[in-house]
Amino acid sequence: MREHVWRASPSLAMIKYWGKAVPAAGTGDADIAGSNIPASFSLAVGLEGLYSETRVRLADDGMDRVMLAGREADPVRYAGFFSGLRLLLGVEHHWECCSENNFPTAAGLASSSSGFAALAAACAAASAAITGEPVPHELLSQAARIGSASAARAVWSGFVALRAGARSAEQVHAPDWWPALRVIVVRISDLPKEASSRDAMELTRLTSPYYQAWLEDSPRVYAEALGALAARDLGRLGPLIRASTMRMFGSMLGADPPVLYWLPQSVAVLQAVARLRRDGAMVWETMDAGPQVKLFCLDKEAEGVCHSLLGVLPELEGRLLVLRVGGGLARVG
């Protein structure tokens, strides 16, 4: 059986998604294809240079199987994704999949976004070889979303939006919209995170008194960020990136028990970045469901920011990565 190999890059949110829409009973949305729909608006970039690579064949034993970095993955985590994909593609077959990342898995570098995007594309390609029907990108985005909502964004390159209530993401601008924009990934820890984003956001939704306020704020921050991005204005976009990040964590801290992904080193970086900004640097921070910190700045400042960070936190030597905006899907075999 022919192997299909696809790559996808992680989708890093500038404006964050945190929390799923609750399907209304009896609307049909309770079915698997309508699951995992975001309740907040997100706006993200694809990260050039980092990727998940997934190899897929059609299975001949009627079982879906996923190997992650050489180890069999928990089938329960993938069951909904595969059922949803069969439903969306109108097929009955199963897939045998192997996935590898060229960066640490499950440590807050958005590996589930690239992982499910590459998985959806490679499985769909294997199916299309049988059905003869190419799968549109919009459907790949929907399928990837069932696995992980951020993965709906990772099928597109450049600047990508996923609206609250949407089943698929959309490209807002191609990567060359803002060639000067850079992301500095500060790798704080390579250990897997303790709480999955899936569980943590559900706990936040169910127990945090700040969750509703987080959702109410989301459309405004998103709309302002779209405007700042359209103007390529980091002075406007940066504070919105920071606000979206901190408000998301505020909602998590209000959960019972609270969700805290940060490590002391994450806080040290946040404080160092605030000092750089006070000294005039244009650099803005975001974090996800893990301890890593990611910074947005312009190419002309990236080297200086790295140099200054290493000056105050020399233990970060070898842990800073400067990336361009790019990403999306690529067929490699």
Binding mask 28-47 for ligand PMV (x = CB under 6 A): --------------x-----
**Selected range binding ligand PMV among 15-23, 76-84, 224-232, 302-310, rule: CB under 6 A:** 15-23
Binding status of residue 142 toward ligand PMV by CB under 6 A: no
- Contact between 148 and ligand PMV per CB under 6 A: yes
Q: Please name which of 62, 316, 42 lies closest in space to residue 162, comparing C-alpha atoms.
A: 42
**Piece of the chain touching ligand PMV by CB under 6 A; list 9-17, 61-69, 97-105, 211-219:** 9-17
Burial of 243 (0-12, 13-18, 19+ CB in 10 A): middle
The CB-of-148 to ligand PMV minimum distance in angstroms stands at: 4
**Residue from 150, 168, 208, 265 that binds ligand PMV (CB under 6 A)?**
150
Cβ neighbours around 62 below 10 Å, total:
8
**Which of 108, 91, 104, 141 lies closest to 13 in space, CA to CA?**
108
b or e along 110-134 (b: 16 or more beta carbons within 10 Å of the residue's beta carbon)?
Answer: bbbbbbbbbbbbbbbbbbeeeeeee
Q: Could you say which residues in the range 103-122 bind ligand PMV, by CB under 6 A?
A: 110, 112-113
Q: Which range touches ligand PMV (CB under 6 A), out of 148-156, 163-171, 176-184, 206-214?
A: 148-156
Which range in 12-20, 65-73, 275-283, 322-330 contacts ligand PMV by CB under 6 A? 12-20
Footprint of ligand PMV on 67-106 (CB under 6 A): none
Contact with ligand PMV (CB under 6 A) among 289, 293, 295, 297 = 289
Pick from 6, 7, 8, 16 the residue near ligand PMV by CB under 6 A.
16
Q: Between 149 and 203, whose beta carbon lies closer to ligand PMV?
A: 149
Count of residues touching ligand PMV (by CB under 6 A): 15
Residue 197 binds ligand PMV, judged by CB under 6 A: yes
Q: Is 288 in the site for ligand PMV (CB under 6 A)?
A: yes
Choice between 16 and 163, CB closer to ligand PMV: 16
- Residues 164, 153: Cα–Cα separation, whole Å: 13
Compare residues 4 and 242 and give the one whose CB is closer to ligand PMV: 242
Shortest CB 249 distance to ligand PMV, Å: 9
| Phi, psi angles (nearest 5°) of residue 220 | -70, -50
Residues 225-264 that bind ligand PMV (CB under 6 A): none
The residue among 4 and 78 lying less far from ligand PMV, judged by its C-beta, is 78
Q: Does 149 bind ligand PMV (CB under 6 A)?
A: yes
Q: Which residues bind ligand PMV (CB under 6 A)?
A: 13, 16-18, 42, 110, 112-113, 148-150, 197-198, 288-289
